[in-house]
Structures are given as C-alpha cells and as structure tokens.
Amino acid sequence: MAPAMKRPGKPGGPMPPKPANTKATFTRLLGYLGRSKTMLGIVFIFVAFSALAGVIGTSFIKTVTDDVLPEIISNGGTDLSPLIETLVKLVLIYLFGVVSSYCYSRIMLQVAHKTLNTIRKDLFNHMQDLPIRFFDSHTHGELMSRYTSDTDTLRECISQSFVQLVSSVISVVGTFVMMVWLSPILALFVVIMLAFGFVAIKMLGSRSAKYFRLQQKSVGEVNGYIEEFIEGQKVVKVFCHEDKAKKDFAVINDRLRKAATNAHTFASVLMPVMGNISYITYAAVAMLGTLMLMLIPETSFVAISLGSMLAFLTYTRHFFQPITQISQQFNTIIMALAGAERIFEIIDTPIEEDDGYVTLVNARKNADGTVSECEERTGVWAWKHPHRDGTTTYTEWQGDVRFHDVTFSYDGKKTVLKNVSLYAMPGQKIAFVGSTGAGKTTITNLINRFYDVNEGKITYDGINIKKIKKADLRRSMAMVLQDTHLFTGTVRDNIAYGKLDATDKEIENAAKLANAHSFITRLPEGYDTVITGDGANLSQGQRQLLAIARAAVADPPVLILDEATSSIDTRTERLIEKGMDKLMEGRTVFVIAHRLSTVRNSDAIMVLEKGEIIERGTHDDLIGQEGKYYQLYTGQFELD
C-alpha cells in the first residue's frame, strides 16, 4: 500500500521553519510582476504624482504665510486675488493627487489579479505533473492553503503594500528635501530624533516579521486539519472522537492564535511608539524653531521665517507617518513572501520523471500480419518504438503484462514487494488476494508507473514499461478504484472522462455495459443530471457503477479493478456481473477483491503475503491445496 498521508500541524509538534531565502523569493515575485512592465510603469508614475502632490501642497503654507498674507495686509484687504489664486493652485494640486491615487489603485488591482492568475495557473499546471508520491505525503488542506490564504496575502501585498511602500518612500524623500530647503539645522535635529525611531522599528519590526511568518505557516496547518476532519466527519462520529478532535484542533488553533497575536501586537505597538516619537520631535522642533525666530537675525543664512517654520512643523508631522508605514508594509511584504515561498516550493518540486520514448499510435494490420502507423482511427493500436540506429518498429497493442523478479519499497527502508514474478497474457484475468498490506495495490501502482520499481522490471507487450511514455502507458489502461471520485458536472461528463471525445452513443453503451443505464434514466435529468459534492446525491453503489462505465467507455486492453465492487450490494453485483464479463472479455484484467464472485472465475489467483507470492493457481487448484487461499476463502470471503 502507499504510505499514509502525514498530517501537518500535529499537536505538540515543532513550529515550521522560517523562509529559507527571502531575497530569492522576492526576486522571483518581481519576475512575475515584470510581465506587466508597462502597467507597472504607469502605476509608479501615478504613485509619484500622488505622493508629490501632498509634499508640494504643504509647501504652500510658507507661500501663504510669508508672501500672500503680508501682501493682502499691505493693501488693506481690498485685493484677495493672490489668496484666491494660491488656493485654486492648491486645490488643483490636491485634486491631481486624488485622481492619481484613484488611477494607480485601479491599475494595480488589475496587475495584482493578473499576476495571481499567472501564479495560480503555474501552480495548478505544475501540480498536474507531480508524482503520486507527492500527493500521498501532503493533505488536501495543506495544498489548498496555497491557493487560498497564501495567494490572498500575495494579493494584498501586490495591490496595496507595494504601491504604499513606493508612495511612502517618495513622500519621505520629498519631505526631507523640503525640510532641508526650509531649514538645514532643524532637518538635522529631525534626523537625530529619527535615529531613535529606527531603533524602535528594528526591535519591534524584526519580532513582528518573525511571528507573521509563523502565522502564515500556522494558517496552512489549521486549513489542513479542518479539511481532514470535514472529509472524515462520519468516522469521527462513528468512533465518538469529537472530544479528541476538539482537543487536537484547540492545540493547533492556539498555536495560530499565539503567532497571530504576537505578530499583530508588535505591529500595532509600532504605530503608537513612532507616533509618540513624532509628537516629541514636533514639540522639540516648535521650541527650537521659536528660539531661532527670536535669536537669529533675518540676515543670517541659517535664519528661518515664520512661514518656513509653520511649513517645517507640518512636514515634521508628515515625515514620521510614511516611515511607520514603510515598517508596517515590510511586515506585510514579509508575510506575503512567506506565502509566496510556500507556493514556489510546490512549483519547484521535481515533476514526475518520464524518460520514455515508446508511444502509442493509431495503426493498421498489414497482409503479412505486421502493423504500421496510420493517421485515421482504425481501432487498432501499436507501440511505436524508435531505435538508436534510426529505425522504428511497431508492436501491436495487446495487453501482455509481466513482472520479472520485481522488488519495491516506498521509502527505501521497508520492502513492500520482494522478488515478485508473474505474467498476464492478453485476455487473462489475474486476481490478487491477501491480507491488508500484503502489496496488492502496490502491484497496480507499479503497472501504472505511479511508482517505479527498485529492482527487476515490468514489461508490457514485451517492452520495458520504463521505455514507454507514461501518458501513453496510462492511456492504454483503465482503473476502477474502491474510492470513486466524481467531478462536478453532468453524469454524461463523468462517464466521458474516460474518453473525452466519446459520442453520446458510446457513453450510453458504456453505461448499459455497467448496468448503470437504468438508474441514470430515472434521475431527474437523466444523463444531463448535474453531480455535485463528489456524487453526494447518488448512492455509493451508483457512484461505483458510473466509475465502471467510465472505464468501459475508455475501451482499453488492460483493466485494473481495485476493490471495484466493494461498495455494491450483492444484488447489484449480480446485475453487473454479466456486463463486467463483457467489459473484461478479450482484455487483460487485474483484480483486487475480497468477494468470491469476482475472484473465483479468474484465470490465475495470486496469494500475497508480506510482499511475496506464496500461492498461485486457479480457484479449484488453490482450494485443493488447502493453504493460505483456502483459509481466506473459508474464513473471510463472502460466499455466493
């Protein structure tokens, strides 16, 4: 059997590690954003306009105080045109800033969603190429968190944090330039006070960033745990484990609470700390500026006017706010990078290796008994085998499967199959029986190349399956599993999943072959009835019949039935037995079953024990030997 899935966030387990390479993740994310260079360039222009509008607007305090008001006072208040003209300019500047803010926000949302669309597409496409081993070692919730919470933090970061960071930097630089222009002495004093602010930012920001990373990891743990227990809710209730589930969830949820509380506590404290430092600086600048007004002559090069001091005080208040925002945006960006790294971790997972070069092609039979490739569909298939000398040979697709001294281990430690040799000639039905963990399902996993053998080899029509492209190999087989999965869509769509270009006639014939046609026609919309929730509106037996019909429409030479009738009652099984016989006719069939009716008429029965074949033969032969099969038959198998 495949290794059990490990559940992330096991109660009491260690916290996940910090992101390994923040710089590389940031560079990679910029690469995705770089695909919208033109739009980003427009965004940054509007961001600069918006930020500079606020900086320039504040400078009008000096103009009004030092120039406009004295002029109005000098003419006795009879001419207010200078003030009106100045106010109009100020309104236009701020209006331009508002329009710029609206424009960059709208454009940045498009950039963010376009980027996330590309990332999700890359993530999903890559996951389709990952090996089964990967999905066996990750829960669905753990993977889903990449598409939900991780991408959501990226959306917030790209659409808001990036532009706010740029805006804050431009505001800080522009404000500082204006402060130096107004009064170099006061600007130097503000820089000294700012040093204390940087100490606070470093202390609080580093702690906040640490816990934001842990928060992002903990969200994935909680999602994985919830998803697992939603799927297994019936099991939880049957065994009355609600209290245990609550306790385990409380541990994981509390870990998320602590990480989130610490992250937002340090982030929240930062704003008041910086605010108080800005108030102290504002008061100190006011006192120092007043002294400069009183003591320094107007003719001195370091003198400051009343208007300059008022404008400087306003700039002082504005100077600390974007710096605080920068530190907070860094926290958001770091949290987003933690999510991005989790996404890129999946994208960077090595895809399923496929060094096969033998392909499955349409063919026709020649007069001399050989086959050759042709373009039209003839119903005849062949393995196209190119050779190093440039020649190409064609082997007719028949379904001859053989194991040659195969040894296999999932983890390299525990041997699951040991020196297994068997053959299944075209049209034969081979059954595997044995206790749980004996290696029955592993054999079918190896035939499909979900896993590759460690030692020995498997041949298909005389060709080592490692030489066959995996897609072509799997296209030549159909599987009916114990756990049936149905997709959201119509009944017709789910049957056609076995052959996407199947006609309505082929779909109905496949359903009739599996004896599913009668119940399908009784559904509200017949074949057009929509299935949702993995077939929640169907019985387990009906779902299994649809899975059998799906395999039937694929019409492969090799059929794998892994406990395919385990969810069907005895009466229903009798109804589909004839259909199954028709489906299996002329095909190589591998059966894993615990029901006598699906094993008894097999051409050969393999009894496995601890990864080895200990008995083989027909039903009658094995009953006569009175060995392991006889014990299973008399003690565990269901009798007809």
Tell me: do 159 and 233 sit in the same domain.
Answer: yes
User: Could you read off the pLDDT of 222-234 as tens digits, one per residue?
Assistant: 877 777 777 666 6
Residue 337 identity (one-letter amino acid)? L
For 629, the token pair is 């099969």
pLDDT at 331: 67
pLDDT at 7: 36
DSSP 173-203: HHHHHHHHHH-HHHHHHHHHHHHHHHHHHHH
DSSP 401-455: EEEEEEEEESSSSSEEEEEEEEEE-TT-EEEEEESTTSSHHHHHHHHTTSS--SE
The overall longest dimension of the chain from CA atoms, in Å, is 125
Cβ atoms of 592 and 561 within 8 Å: the answer is: yes
Give residue 382's domain range: 359-396
- Examine residue 191 and state whether it is found in any structural domain, yes or no: yes
Assess whether pLDDT exceeds 60 at residue 13. no
User: Could you read off the pLDDT of 528-544 as tens digits, one per residue?
Assistant: 988 876 677 787 778 88
pTM above threshold 0.85: no
Residue range 514-528: mean pLDDT, rounded: 88
Assess whether pLDDT exceeds 60 at residue 640. no
Return the beta strands (E) in 46-155 as ranges: none
Q: Is 425 left (phi over 0), alpha (psi -120 to 50) or beta?
A: beta
The chain-wide mean pLDDT, for the chain, equals: 81
Question: Which of these, 584, 634, 632, lies nearest to 608 by C-alpha position?
Answer: 632
Tell me: do 89 and 202 sit in the same domain.
Answer: yes
Q: What is the dihedral of CA 166, 18, 140, 237, to 10 degrees?
A: -120
Out of 141-155, 576-590, 601-615, give the one with best mean pLDDT.
601-615
Assess whether pLDDT exceeds 70 at residue 90. yes
**Whole-angstrom Cα distance, residue 416 to residue 407?**
8
**Whole-angstrom Cα distance, residue 111 to residue 106?**
9
Cβ atoms of 339 and 156 within 8 Å: the answer is: no
For 582, the token pair is 């028709």
- Examine residue 212 and state whether it is found in any structural domain, yes or no: yes
pLDDT at 320: 76
Residue range 112-138: mean pLDDT, rounded: 87
3-state secondary structure of 400: coil
* Burial of 436 per CB tally in 10 Å (0-12, 13-18, 19+): exposed
Tell me: do 264 and 386 sit in the same domain.
Answer: no
Q: Where are the alpha helices (DSSP H) in 461-601?
A: 470-475, 491-496, 504-513, 517-521, 540-554, 570-584, 596-599
* DSSP class of 378: -
Assess whether pLDDT exceeds 70 at residue 629. yes
Sheet with 612-617: strands ordered across: 477-480, 558-562, 588-592, 429-434, 604-609, 612-617
Share of the chain above pLDDT 90, in %: 9
- Examine residue 330 and state whether it is found in any structural domain, yes or no: yes
Helix (H) or strand (E) holding 589: strand 588-592
pLDDT at 492: 92
Tell me: do 331 and 439 sit in the same domain.
Answer: no
Residue 184 identity (one-letter amino acid)? P
User: Could you read off the pLDDT of 605-614 as tens digits, one per residue?
Assistant: 988 888 899 9
Return the beta strands (E) in 304-379 as ranges: 359-365, 371-373
Cβ atoms of 326 and 172 within 8 Å: the answer is: yes
Out of 72-86, 256-270, 484-498, give the one with best mean pLDDT.
484-498
- Examine residue 12 and state whether it is found in any structural domain, yes or no: no
Tell me: do 169 and 232 sit in the same domain.
Answer: yes
| The pairing of beta strand 489-490 with beta strand 530-531 | antiparallel
Return the minimum-mean-pLDDT range out of 202-211, 422-431, 496-505. Answer: 202-211
Tell me: do 239 and 136 sit in the same domain.
Answer: yes
Tell me: do 317 and 391 sit in the same domain.
Answer: no
Tell me: do 159 and 234 sit in the same domain.
Answer: yes
Assess whether pLDDT exceeds 50 at residue 488. yes
**Whole-angstrom Cα distance, residue 325 to residue 332?**
10
- Examine residue 353 and state whether it is found in any structural domain, yes or no: no
Q: Which residues pair with 457 in a beta bridge?
A: 404
Return the minimum-mean-pLDDT range out of 265-269, 343-347, 619-623. Answer: 265-269
Cβ atoms of 357 and 386 within 8 Å: the answer is: yes
Residue 165 identity (one-letter amino acid)? L
Number of independent structural domains in the chain: 3
Tell me: do 97 and 188 sit in the same domain.
Answer: yes
* Burial of 411 per CB tally in 10 Å (0-12, 13-18, 19+): exposed
- Examine residue 16 and state whether it is found in any structural domain, yes or no: no
pLDDT band at 10, cuts 50/70/90?
A: very low
**Whole-angstrom Cα distance, residue 160 to residue 33?**
14
* Burial of 629 per CB tally in 10 Å (0-12, 13-18, 19+): buried
Return the minimum-mean-pLDDT range out of 42-56, 131-145, 441-455, 606-620. Answer: 131-145
- Examine residue 519 and state whether it is found in any structural domain, yes or no: yes
pLDDT band at 317, cuts 50/70/90?
A: confident
Query: Alpha carbon of 64 to those of 60, 61, 85: distances in Å?
Result: 6, 5, 11
* CATH of residue 504: 3.40.50.300
Tell me: do 283 and 418 sit in the same domain.
Answer: no
Tell me: do 328 and 378 sit in the same domain.
Answer: no
User: Could you read off the pLDDT of 553-565 as tens digits, one per residue?
Assistant: 888 888 888 876 6
**Whole-angstrom Cα distance, residue 219 to residue 598?**
46
Tell me: do 342 and 378 sit in the same domain.
Answer: no
Sheet with 380-386: strands ordered across: 371-373, 359-365, 380-386, 392-396
**Whole-angstrom Cα distance, residue 9 to residue 139?**
11
Query: Alpha carbon of 458 to those of 406, 527, 576, 606: distances in Å?
Result: 8, 39, 31, 17
Assess whether pLDDT exceeds 90 at residue 165. no
pLDDT band at 46, cuts 50/70/90?
A: very high
* CATH of residue 175: 1.20.1560.10
Return the minimum-mean-pLDDT range out of 197-206, 479-488, 619-628. Answer: 197-206
pLDDT at 231: 66
Assess whether pLDDT exceeds 50 at residue 372. yes
Q: What is the dihedral of CA 239, 243, 249, 250, to 10 degrees?
A: -170
3-state secondary structure of 20: coil
- Examine residue 334 and state whether it is found in any structural domain, yes or no: yes
pLDDT band at 2, cuts 50/70/90?
A: very low
pLDDT band at 286, cuts 50/70/90?
A: confident
